[in-house]
Amino acid sequence: MAQPHMVPAAHDTALIAAWQAGDEQAAAELVRRHARPLARFLASAGAPDSDVDDLVQETFIRAFRSVDRFRGQCQFRTWLLTIGGNVLKDFGRRAARRKVLPLDEAVRDVTGDPHEHAEAREAEAMLAAGLQQLPRLQREVFLLRAQQGLEYAEIAAALATTPGAARVHYHHAVRRLKEIVK
């Protein structure tokens, strides 16, 4: 039985140095060499099959952005898998925040108190009306944060603003919606 080809860590270190010196082929070789093992690791660690490729890409992006911090104290693959594990944890946290149920008739609880249902529909209608009263930027920031679960940096990038400004817009939107809904 043939043994899998093991890549010497020194060779990866040489590729990293070449990439830092501007050799794009060196980066491509690192990706070619480590993408499949990284994908297997992520999949076995619980990444949904449909997201594995995106998580591999995100891992390489983070690794290449911080490659100057790779000191060679471990193999490049070990370092990359550590980053991949962190990417997967971040993905899990974002996914947990994004679990949003649509407020349509198909998901309404019909077994509860009719009075509670009426109050919930009224609150939903007030929230929808309140969202329409918000300035466009506040409404978009609120929806991206509360409904989609995006981080302020992601919101800032999507709306061409700063994370601080996104925080302020979200704060004002929440305050105004609380006043409207009361």
pLDDT in 10s for each residue of the chain, 182 residues:
444 444 455 588 889 888 888 888 998 999 999 999 899 888 877 788 889 999 999 999 999 998 888 877 778 888 888 898 889 889 988 877 765 555 555 555 566 677 777 777 787 788 778 887 888 788 878 877 887 777 888 777 776 789 899 999 999 999 998 887 77
Picking from 97, 116, 131, the residue at the C-terminal end of a domain is 97
| Same domain? 111 vs 177 | yes
Q: Is residue 4 part of a domain?
A: no
Host domain of residue 80: 9-97
Residue 33 counted as domain residue: yes
How far is residue 60's CA from residue 57's CA, in Å, rounded to a whole number?
5
The tally of CA atoms less than 13 A away on the side-chain side of residue 173 is 24
CATH of the domain at 146: 1.10.10.10
> How far is Cα 149 from Cα 142, in angstroms, rounded to an integer?
10
Domain count, the chain: 2
Instruction: For residues 102 and 118, give the distance between their C-alpha atoms in angstroms, rounded to a whole number.
Output: 17
**Last residue of one domain, picked from the residues 44, 71, 97:** 97
